[in-house]
Structure 1
Amino acid sequence: MRFHHLAGRVWVCPGDPDPAAVQAGVAVVADERGSVMIDAGQSPAHAREIRAALHAAGLPEPRWLVYTHHHWDHVWGACAWPGVEIVGHVTGQELLRAEAARPWSHRYLREQVRANPRLAPSFRARAFAVDSWDDFAVLPPTRTFTDSDELPVGVRLRHVGGRHAPDSTVVLVPDSGVMLLGDSFYPPPAHLREPDDGPDLALLRRLLDDDYDWYVDSHGEPMTLAQARSEAGAG
């Protein structure tokens, strides 16, 4: 696991390419005034690996941690990032407060899968990801916004919503020409997905902007503007 320089101040660290691992990639906007980490990792163990990769690349420690949305593979590592300000959409704050109240454990995961077998892929991945629940906690954002926000280091946040998650947020780094998409245009989560659900290409097309050269979603390779247009069917 290592960070790769993408453009300007933006570095990306890919997740596990095996879909069964449900491990999202993360990104860092490196700045001497304090870096911005985009998403937290899917577990404390994953977050510790990300921190080691951050140090190996010589990148500054994050001052802010931005959630692209509230799904577990993007936020469950937050408790291993002490001292950061967690930023996310207000809808995600409410959803994560409810998640934080659940009695997470391997036993609880098994009980939930027995009650709803469609949860099995996600909940089994969680069981593999978290080796100990002793210091585990789901952390809601401490700084929230509704439509948009801008951090002091020039990183912009825009709420886009969508069918994948109601709090989906894209992260814009204008000086680097990079847009971080999270899972915003993905179909609904597997346990909620219907057979005809697919990527929300209309949403992706709305996001394309000539001022941005790179588009990064959380489970794929970075795309150039031309590649993103092709992916979105925009010609």
Structure 2
Amino acid sequence: MALRHLAGRVWLFPGDPDPFAVRPTVAVVADDRGSVLVDAGQSPAHAREVRAALAAAGLPEPRWLVYTHHHWDHVWGACAWPGVEIVGHESAVAPLRAEAARPWSHRYLREQVRENPLLGHSFRARALAVDSWDGFAVLPPTRTFTDEVTLPTGVVVRHVGGRHAPDSAVVLVPDSGVLLLGDCWYPPPAHLRTPEDGPDLALAASLLDDDVAWYVSAHDEPLPLAEARAALAGG
């Protein structure tokens, strides 16, 4: 699969529309000073696909990797991006350290699902995503922030929180008119969701800005501003 140019410096490696794959979109903000990778991919294999597409497109290697939040499908590819500085919200450190200490294997995944069947959707997707556990590691951020941080390339990472993950951050590329949303406005993960939980439309609406032309959620197609406004008005 090839990278798809969205606008300005922003390129997308599209996610898998099959919800059982749990494979989000990965974004690249290309810059000669070193590109910014937004989310790591959901496995080392996924990350290697993104890396190959990056090379095929002739774009600069990533220097920074931004986690939009700590969920596995956004961070498990990080160990396949050596040499990058990993940027994430300070509240992502503790859960990722805990995840890093778990004895990940296909056997462990099966055991966890037997103990808690609600984990089935997520853990089966993990089992399909990782073909080998050799060299696999869950990596916490190496650079953290509280409210907002601006990277040397002008990319702005802003904490927004939300019910999906308390550490959720959005990534603004001002010169390209693009806002990368991660999963911030989605409901909580399936194993934590109640029948009353739905999309956080108020959070999504608060992020709309006339200076932003494109809104990119990790598991949906990018929306131009007019379509994003219409979608929220209809919701």
Match of 1:19, SS?
A: coil
* Percent of residue pairs identical: 77
In structure 2, the residue matched to 1:171 is 171
* Cα deviation 1:130-149 (Å, max 9, x = unaligned): 01111100000000000000
In structure 1, the residue matched to 2:62 is 62
In structure 2, the residue matched to 1:139 is 139
* Cα deviation 1:87-141 (Å, max 9, x = unaligned): 0000011110111011111111011101100000100000010011111000000
Q: Could you tell me how far 1:57 is from its partner in structure 2? A: 1.2
Alignment partners' CA distance in 2, 1:2 and 1:116: 37
Match of 1:32, SS?
A: coil
Worse-superposed segment, 52-61 or 166-175: 52-61
- The 8 Å contact of residues 156 and 171 in structure 1, kept in 2 or not, is answered as yes
Match of 1:144, SS?
A: strand
Query: Superposition pairs for residues 10-49 of structure 1, below 5 Å?
Result: 10-49=10-49
Match of 1:211, SS?
A: coil
* Cα deviation 1:34-93 (Å, max 9, x = unaligned): 000000000000100110111111111100000000000000000000000000000011
Q: TM-score, normalised by structure 2?
A: 0.98
Alignment partners' CA distance in 2, 1:132 and 1:4: 28
In structure 2, relative to structure 1, the CA distance for the partners of 1:193 and 1:97 (3 Å cut) is same
In structure 2, the residue matched to 1:213 is 213
1:8 aligned onto 2:8: yes
Match of 2:171, SS?
A: strand
Match of 1:187, SS?
A: coil
Amino acid at match of 1:207: L
Q: Could you tell me how far 1:231 is from its partner in structure 2? A: 2.0
Alignment partners' CA distance in 1, 2:169 and 2:232: 18
* Cα deviation 1:3-62 (Å, max 9, x = unaligned): 111111101111111000000110000000100000000000010011011111111110
* Cα deviation 1:153-174 (Å, max 9, x = unaligned): 0000100000000000000000
- The 8 Å contact of residues 201 and 233 in structure 1, kept in 2 or not, is answered as no
Alignment partners' CA distance in 2, 1:209 and 1:120: 38
- Point out where structure 2 has 5 or more consecutive residues left out of the alignment: none
Alignment partners' CA distance in 2, 1:63 and 1:48: 16
Query: Superposition pairs for residues 116-127 of structure 1, below 5 Å?
Result: 116-127=116-127
In structure 1, the residue matched to 2:162 is 162
